Structure 1
Amino acid sequence: MPLPATRIVDDAADHVRAVVHPEIYRHSLRTYLLGMEAARRDGVTDIDEESLFLAALFHDSGTAPVYNGPARFEIEGADAAARFLRAYGWGTAKVDPIWEAIALHTTPEIPERRGMVPRYMRKGVQIEFGSAQLRESFAEAIEAAESQYPRECLEEVLQGLVINQALARPQKASQPSWVADLVRHHRPGQPGINPAF
């Protein structure tokens, strides 16, 4: 499946690729592709592909050093996307669904009620990290996405970036949150995937 072919997509991809870890960048592109596949399976034909792509692209941008502000990484990424889009003249009506999709992507049940962009970006994330059963049901789409954008130690990379930010700034792991759970289960020097992942 091709990526949307617009100037803002190209510019945003160049920007995000330059600031995030390469594994996070590839994960973001797979999240878009898998979210689109979930929408296709649901019979959705009118999703805003450009907005979904931009949401997926920026959804973990809060892990980048340049966007490591005082708020939770999800909020920092949402704010980064909003600033980027407003610089291109996008108004509130176009920006808000993207902001919500990013800010809520680690929150169960809420994105699904906030419109198609938050719903299918969250679905893309769920497929990336989901149960064996969920991933098996999307096996062909996952294989295609990973052949185009290879996956290598994603969980370890993402958890490391998020935990290190939170250890340096504890307010980034406010309770309750996914980040707080990661920090609570963190054991320095212990390899492998955090049990809270």
Structure 2
Amino acid sequence: MSFSLELPATPIAEAALAAVRTSVAEPIINHSIRSFLFAELLVRHDDLAAEPGYDRDLVFAATVMHDLGTGTGAPGQARFEVEGADLAAQVLTDIGLPAAAVDRVWEAVAFHTSPGIAERRGLLAYLTAEGSKMDIGFNAHVTAAQQAAIHAAYPRNHMVQTLVDAVVRHANLSDTAAPLYSMADLFRSERETTGRTQLEALAAGRSPWGE
């Protein structure tokens, strides 16, 4: 499987990009696209393209829309992962994607912050979670040869801080937007007590390209 910076130009990909570009902050858009590119590198590295669960369009849809719940379209009545999954599902339903495929994307987006669960819910959920983690520096050896070109095309622009800001903003929209022990609840608590989340510290210390 060859690797290219060229993004899919299918109706699914166009709908996913349109959804994030109209509602999500630019650093998070770039993060989402990098998550797709890094997931594709993992597919190539682990020879997963021939696996029955691999669908490049669905990988693109799930990775690109995995943080859609941090954007302006999320009502803030449930955790951002769930609202992002709902929004992503609506985007794909509106363009006529079959319900089974929509459900796979919903699950991948909803579980992308749930280590130990995403990996057990099929290849799409696994790649969505791993792609987003790779953008923080995990599995850096997989991305080493291409990361400079990927970052040149889609700059970081203080992504982690922007993402944490967006998650905390969403958490503050209602009492139900940040359930106890959710990522949003953790981020908000860390910001209130120390001014900096563990994710921000992890990205600054772990990421081989800085943050």
TM-score by length of 1: 0.90
**Secondary structure in structure 1 of the residue aligned to 2:198:** coil
CA distance in 2, matches of 1:64, 1:49: 24
CA positional deviation for 1:141: 2.9
What percent identity do the matched residue pairs reach? 33
One-letter code of the match for 2:26?
P
Write out per-residue CA displacement over residues 117-162 of structure 1, whole angstroms, 9 at most, x where no aligned residue. Answer: 111111111111235xx32552223222211111110111000111
Among 162, 170, 179, which residue is 1:174 paired with?
179
CA distance in 2, matches of 1:5, 1:168: 35
> What value does the CA root-mean-square deviation take over the aligned residues?
1.8
Report the equivalent of 2:60: 53
CA distance in 2, matches of 1:177, 1:130: 22
Among 123, 127, 132, which residue is 1:125 paired with?
132
CA distance in 1, matches of 2:132, 2:113: 9
CA distance in 1, matches of 2:20, 2:199: 27
1:14 matched to 2:21:
no
Report the equivalent of 1:114: 121
CA positional deviation for 1:196: 4.8
Larger mean CA deviation between 164-173 and 88-97 belongs to 164-173
1:66 matched to 2:70:
no
1:80 matched to 2:73:
no
> Matched residue pairs, number?
193
- Give 1 or 2: higher helix fraction: 1
8 A Cα contact 2:74 2:84, kept in partner: yes
Question: Which stretches in structure 2 are left out of the alignment for 5+ residues?
Answer: 201-211
Write out per-residue CA displacement over residues 6-60 of structure 1, whole angstroms, 9 at most, x where no aligned residue. Answer: 1231233123212110111111100000011111111112320100000011110
**Secondary structure in structure 1 of the residue aligned to 2:112:** coil
Report the equivalent of 2:151: 146
Report the equivalent of 2:108: 101
